[in-house]
Amino acid sequence: MTDAKTMIEETVKANDVVLFMKGTKTMPQCGFSSRVAGVLNYMGVEFHDVNVLADDGIRQGIKEFSDWPTIPQLYVKGEFVGGCDIITEMTLSGELDKLFEQCHVDYNKDAADKIREANV
């Protein structure tokens, strides 16, 4: 598990936005991963995806690393943000926009607004 923890730590530190997910950003393998990747892709956020299905050590290790039992898991500037429900709520409330702005992460504000308009 040490190798997995090291890989997770290095990945989270080396990338501004990381999504640990089932599948990839272009081919998610579960609905929850698809929703979060879809939001990030639609908003034009550049992010690193880690397919937990490719490595069982990473799949279990990320749950221990964050002390969060489910996948997907989003990290911004090295900090754990949350899973699918939290990211969905943050997107709809505008909190995710604020987080990206505070962390100097580029995103498309118009796309974020369209997501909110479509979910009113």
The whole domain housing 113 covers 2-118
Residue 10, domain CATH? 3.40.30.10
How many domains does the structure of the chain reveal? Answer: 1
Answer yes or no: is pLDDT of 46 > 90: yes
- Region 27-41 average pLDDT: 97
Answer yes or no: is pLDDT of 24 > 90: yes
Residue 30, marked binder: yes
pTM for the structure as a whole: 0.95
H or E element, residue 80: strand 79-82
Other CB atoms within 10 Å distance of the CB of residue 77 = 17
String of DSSP letters for 49-67 = EEEGGG-HHHHHHHHHHHT
Q: What is the pLDDT of residue 120?
A: 83
Q: What is the pLDDT of residue 4?
A: 92
